[in-house]
Amino acid sequence: MSKATLHNTMRVYHRYLGFFLAGIMAIYALSGFVLIFRDTHFLKRDKLVTEQLKPGLNNDDLGKAVRMRDLKILSVSGSVKTFKQGDYDTVSGTAHYTITTLPPFIDKLTHLHKASTKEPLFFLNVFFAVALLFFVLSSFWMFMPKTSIFKKGLYFTLAGIILTVIMLLV
């Protein structure tokens, strides 16, 4: 395959993959934006949960049972332990607490970034990563290497790498 043919082939693949990935990238961008604010109440709603747990749980086990890290007991009144988000009756095992959740569709969107190898979304994530890597590499075939646009593009690529490394180190 000649250089001109490889150049044209890469441009065609880059173009159509770019159009295909535009939809996926838009969804990932939206879900990524929401994840940036995951430690705030942005778009979240409070939900009251009443759950029957084992009676007599210690503080660590209670935190695990209600899926709250670093759960701190604020007070104990009789058999009721009170924590910031609710309370737990050590005798009956009944827990009342408030959690914050994203609306269901937005929660599913953010799950794109958190999918593990045990879930079908894993395949989309792997495909997306490989496609983005191809997209990055094929972009270097968009312009002939001796042109000033290509050389400027290399400087912008280097600047992007440097900015990312700096942000990772800060």
Is 35 within 8 Å of 107 (Cβ atoms)?
no
| Range with the poorest average pLDDT among 6-10, 65-69, 77-81, 130-134 | 6-10
Tokens of 77: 């009144």
**163 has a pLDDT exceeding 80:** yes
Percent of the chain with pLDDT over 90: 59
DSSP state of 103: -
pLDDT at 50: 97
What is the mean pLDDT of the segment spanning 115-122? 90
DSSP state of 153: H
pLDDT bucket at 141, cuts 50 / 70 / 90: confident
Is 43 within 8 Å of 35 (Cβ atoms)?
no
pLDDT bucket at 11, cuts 50 / 70 / 90: confident
Angle at which helix 121-138 crosses helix 3-36, to 10 degrees, equals: 130
Percent of the chain with pLDDT over 70: 98
**2 has a pLDDT exceeding 80:** no
CA torsion, ordered 167, 34, 27, 122, to nearest 10 deg: 80
Taking the C-alpha atoms of residue 66 and residue 48, their distance in angstroms, rounded to an integer, is: 12
| Residue range 68-92, pLDDT digits in tens | 989 999 999 999 999 999 999 999 9
For 57-71, letters b (16+ CB in 10 Å) and e give beeeebbebbebeeb
